[in-house]
Structure 1
Amino acid sequence: MNKKMLLISRQAPFGKSTAREAIDIALAASVYDQDIGVLFMDDGVFQLLKSQKSQNIDQKNIASILSALALYGIENIYVHQESLDARTIRTDELVIDDLQLLNNKDIGHLLNQQDQLLSF
Structure 2
Amino acid sequence: MSKSLLIISRQAPWAGPSAREALDIALAGGAFDLPLGMLFLDDGVFQLLADQQPDALQQKDLTANLKALPLFGVENLYVSTRSLAERGLNQQTLALPAEQLDDAALTLLLDRYDQVITL
Asked whether the two chains share a fold, i.e. TM above 0.5, the reply is yes
* Structure 1: stretches of 5+ with no match in the other structure: none
Q: 1:114 is aligned with what amino acid?
A: Y
Structure 1 counterpart of 2:13, which letter? Answer: P
User: Where does residue 100 of structure 2 map in the other structure?
Assistant: 101
- Superposition map of 1:33-112 within 5 A: 33-97=33-97, 99-112=98-111
State the distance in 2 between where 1:67 and 1:56 align.
21
CA contact (8 A) 1:51 1:93 kept: no
Q: Secondary structure at the match of 2:38?
A: strand
For residues 45-100 of structure 1, the C-alpha deviation after alignment (integer angstroms, 9 at most, x for no partner) is 00000021101111111122112210110000000000000000021110002x21
Q: Distance in 1 between matches of 2:83 and 2:35?
A: 24
Q: Secondary structure at the match of 2:78?
A: strand
Identity %: 43
Q: Deviations over 1:2-36 (max 9, x none)?
A: 31100000000003001000100111111221111
> How many residues of Structure 1 are paired with residues of Structure 2 in the alignment?
119
User: Residues 78 and 100 of structure 1 are in contact (CA less than 8 Å); yes or no, is this contact kept in structure 2?
Assistant: yes
Classify the secondary structure of the residue corresponding to 1:68: helix
TM-score (norm 2): 0.96
Runs of 4+ in 1 over 6 A off after TM superposition: none
The RMSD of aligned alpha carbons is 0.9
3-state SS of 2:39 partner: strand
Gaps of 5+ in 2: none
Which residue identity is paired with 1:78?
Y
What are the within-5 Å matches in structure 2 for residues 13-28 of structure 1? Answer: 13-28=13-28
